[in-house]
Amino acid sequence: MNVMIEQVWQDFLKIIKEEVGIRVVETWIKAVSLSRYDSLERKVYLSAPNMFVKNWVETHYKQLFVTHLKRLLSIDDIKIVFCIGSICSAESELVQNVTSQAVSVSSAPDQSKNQKYQLVKKMPSMHANATMSKLNPSYTFDMFVVGENNSFAYASARAVTQKLGKLYNPLLLYGGSGLGKTHLLHAIGNEILEKYPDAVVLYQTTDKFVTEFIHAIRFDQIAKFQAKYKKIDVLLLDDIQFMVNKEQTQEAFFHIFNALYESNKQIVLSSDTLPRNLGGLVDRLKSRLEWGLIADVQVPMLETKIAILKRKAEMQRELLSQDVALFIAHQPVKSVRELEGSLIRVLAYASLTNQVVTIDLVKKVLGQTSDIQAKSASLIDFGAIIDHINKHFSYGIVDLRSKDRSKGVSHARQVAMYLMKKYTGKSLREIGEYLDRKDHTTITHAIHRIKELSHQDPQFAQKLRNIEQSLG
Ligand code: ADP
Ligand code: MG
């Protein structure tokens, strides 16, 4: 894809995220890619991994493509051609023959799925307050799978509900997109309302906050706006990175923050960037945001991904076998949201075609290339870890495999073992074999030691984070 088209595609994704929500984008729209634009014929070729995704996207979202791509490409008429891999249909005819797995897609089964989901999901926040608080009742602590990647954020969020306004104020949840920040904000709200049904809890996205503020300015209702926020007991403000460069809004928020803080009201925020790295945020607000506790969420490890998949499937009364969960978890995804998207596609397909979820079915739904990609791209291999160890500690594979127990080598070896367990999905035995260690307990010990060290020694913790980040 050339640069211009790539940019159009990125802009398109941004716009429709607003329009249909991030969930649809992650589940369906990103399952297809813009493979080619023929400017003479004014045809946009979209490639889907299989018939199922193609039909679904075509049935539900074709008009979106037409409307927005027309505008983004500045043309009046446009033809959207859906392809499966590189096999493309003529504009209107369906390629039913390409695969015998053709599925006709209607929205009905989707709805029945939703109903099922509605029945199963827990409704903890049936208090009158819940609606006003704008809380999603299915985002609870119970539904949140805790792993190494998020245990600190989870524990901090739980702690906040035990001692409102006193322990960590503000609590700032920080991390990449789709890793559970919004879920945790809602979970805090739901738990608080369960305990204190009369508490005034408000979940608000920063986008809405900004819009509300602009509206207040326009209609001369600043006092009312301020008053609304100042009477809140628990403010859950999501994605504060969107306040960047909006100085007046920051100013208004600064006053609300101070008022709430001074009366010991709890403030919980989320951001995809650390406050200190948010250019376009005034310093005094930055410093306020760092007054309390900052807890990060990271990409989950394999086992946590599996647990999440199983929990999400259970919510829809589906059972995933270990094999299938493992297979889906091995897909190269960057966030839990994407992982969930894959699962939703698989379950939708299984339900529409009345099939049991097997690995073959998953392969079909997640695309022709996914299993090859999964093998090569999702997993970081031993070699990559050895390269990084070499770069950061200056010891190579020969040192790591040797019997040398001097401090430097041992330490580097332990870091290698820790990273291998965390990122490669290989067993202790395989790691042992690779590093010439017969006894697995050496590896268990190393993992334990590295975890301990990263808690005790902030400098080492930072170094480890750097290595992990560069591992990708
Ligand atoms: P963020 O706000 O960080 O972008 P979200 O909180 O919206 O991410 O999470 C995206 C999706 O992933 C949600 O459906 C959420 O329920 C799910 N999710 C993320 N982390 C977990 C987890 N640890 N356990 C269960 N579901 C999770
Ligand atoms: Mg979010």
Task: State pLDDT tens for residues 442-471.
Answer: 998 999 999 999 989 989 998 998 888 887
Per-residue model confidence (pLDDT) at position 122: 38
CA dist 216 and 208 (Å) reads 12
Strand partners, 167: none
CA distances from 76 to 10, 64, 206, 377 (A): 20, 15, 35, 40
| Residue 180 in contact with ligand 1 by CB distance below 6 A | yes
Å from CA of 310 to ligand 2 middle = 22
Best residue for ligand 1 mutational test, from 17, 135, 151, 179 (most atoms within 8 Å of Cβ) = 179
pTM: predicted TM-score of the whole model, two decimal places:
0.68
pLDDT grade, residue 139 (50/70/90)? very high
| Residue 145 in contact with ligand 1 by CB distance below 6 A | yes
- pLDDT, tens only, 41-59: 889 999 888 888 888 899 8
Q: Is the pLDDT of residue 182 over 90?
A: yes
Best residue for ligand 1 mutational test, from 25, 270, 337 (most atoms within 8 Å of Cβ) = 337
C-beta of residue 290 within 8 angstroms of C-beta of residue 267: no
Which numbered atom of ligand 1 lies nearest the CA of 146? 23
Per-residue model confidence (pLDDT) at position 41: 87
Å from CA of 315 to ligand 1 middle = 14
CA dist 455 and 60 (Å) reads 49
For ligand 1, atom 25, the nearest C-alpha belongs to: 144
For ligand 1, atom 1, the nearest C-alpha belongs to: 178
Å from CA of 296 to ligand 2 middle = 13
C-beta of residue 359 within 8 angstroms of C-beta of residue 371: no
State the DSSP H helix or E strand holding residue 234, giving kind and residue range, or none if neither.
strand 234-238
| Residue 271 in contact with ligand 1 by CB distance below 6 A | no
CA dist 147 and 373 (Å) reads 25
Per-residue model confidence (pLDDT) at position 374: 41
Q: Is the pLDDT of residue 329 over 60?
A: yes
Residue 184 dihedral angles phi and psi, to the nearest 5°: -65, -40
Q: What Rg do the C-alpha atoms of the chain give, in angstroms? A: 25
List the Cα angle 85/87/91 in 5-degree steps.
Answer: 115
- pLDDT, tens only, 369-382: 444 344 433 456 78
| Residue 137 in contact with ligand 1 by CB distance below 6 A | no
pLDDT grade, residue 106 (50/70/90)? very low
CA distances from 416 to 204, 386, 392, 409, 458 (A): 42, 7, 11, 10, 19
Å from CA of 205 to ligand 2 middle = 9
Best residue for ligand 1 mutational test, from 336, 340, 344 (most atoms within 8 Å of Cβ) = 336
CA dist 362 and 346 (Å) reads 6
| Residue 161 in contact with ligand 1 by CB distance below 6 A | no
| Residue 336 in contact with ligand 1 by CB distance below 6 A | yes
Higher pLDDT, 111 or 9: 9
Å from CA of 181 to ligand 2 middle = 5
| Residue 308 in contact with ligand 1 by CB distance below 6 A | yes
| Residue 44 in contact with ligand 1 by CB distance below 6 A | no
